């Protein structure tokens, strides 16, 4: 389905009651939404649900699109917020995997992994470092936390962050430098208190 109408014309058609026109937007942007959600969430098992949630939110809130920026910028903002919310709700730290499995009968059990990982003392130290880092990131102002998570955890490029946050690339780099400096200070403060 290759609709020649511009995004704003399709949005206007949806707002005027043409529900089928929304399918044009979904088909036009589903791959980009899927890839963006995957890059931010890093959880392939939840990408389809999150992408669907993005389009549901978009449909329900389309009347809030004011046209001050392009539709794609608005869509990426909805996508970004949905993926970040899901990331916050996840209880496991980045890089960790749940060991709980569900059998076909619906019973939950823990997987057994062969030994060969870090020693208990090393695990405890890693956990403490990860907790200190998480706590320090949580103490950052929102605008610094966002760029740190997007760049360092989700490994997005400066351009991708710039597009998602609707900022110029220089502002993204500046915020990232300030965020790193603040984070470094918070971690040093935590280390000196621990000694």
Query: Is the pTM above the cut of 0.85?
Result: no
Which pair of tokens denotes residue 95? Answer: 């890089």
The torsion angle over the Cα atoms of residues 152, 158, 160 and 166, rounded to 10 degrees, is 110
pLDDT given for residue 137 in this prediction: 86
Confidence of residue 126 (pLDDT cuts 50, 70, 90): confident
pLDDT given for residue 59 in this prediction: 92
Report yes or no: 164 and 172 within 8 Å, Cβ to Cβ.
Answer: no
Confidence of residue 179 (pLDDT cuts 50, 70, 90): very high
In sequence order, which residues have a C-beta less than 8 Å from that of residue 11 and are 6 or more positions away? 25, 62, 65, 71
| pLDDT greater than 80 at residue 72 | yes
Over residues 8-28, the pLDDT tens digits come to: 899 999 999 998 999 999 999
Domains and CATH numbers, the chain: 7-89 (1.10.1740.10), 119-194 (1.10.10.10)
Q: Can you tell me the distance from the alpha carbon of 71 to that of 52, in angstroms, rounded to the nearest whole number?
A: 18
């Amino acid at each position: 389905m290759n609709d020649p109408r511009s995004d704003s014309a399709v949005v206007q058609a949806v707002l005027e009651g043409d529900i089928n026109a929304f399918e044009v937007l979904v088909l036009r942007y589903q791959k980009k939404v899927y890839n963006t959600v995957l890059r931010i969430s890093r959880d392939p098992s939840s990408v389809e649900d999150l992408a669907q949630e993005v389009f549901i939110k978009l449909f329900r809130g389309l009347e809030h699109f004011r046209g001050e920026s392009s539709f794609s910028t608005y869509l990426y903002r909805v996508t970004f917020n949905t993926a970040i919310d899901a990331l916050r709700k996840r209880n496991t730290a980045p890089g960790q995997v749940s060991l709980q499995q569900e059998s076909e009968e619906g019973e939950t059990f823990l997987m057994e992994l062969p030994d060969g990982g870090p020693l208990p003392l090393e695990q405890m130290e890693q956990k403490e470092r990860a907790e200190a880092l998480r706590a320090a990131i949580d103490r950052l102002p929102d605008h610094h936390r966002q760029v740190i998570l997007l760049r360092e955890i989700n490994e997005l490029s400066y351009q991708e962050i710039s597009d998602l946050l609707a900022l110029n690339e220089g502002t993204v780099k500046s915020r990232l430098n300030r965020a790193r400096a603040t984070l470094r200070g918070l971690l040093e403060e935590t280390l000196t208190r621990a000694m």
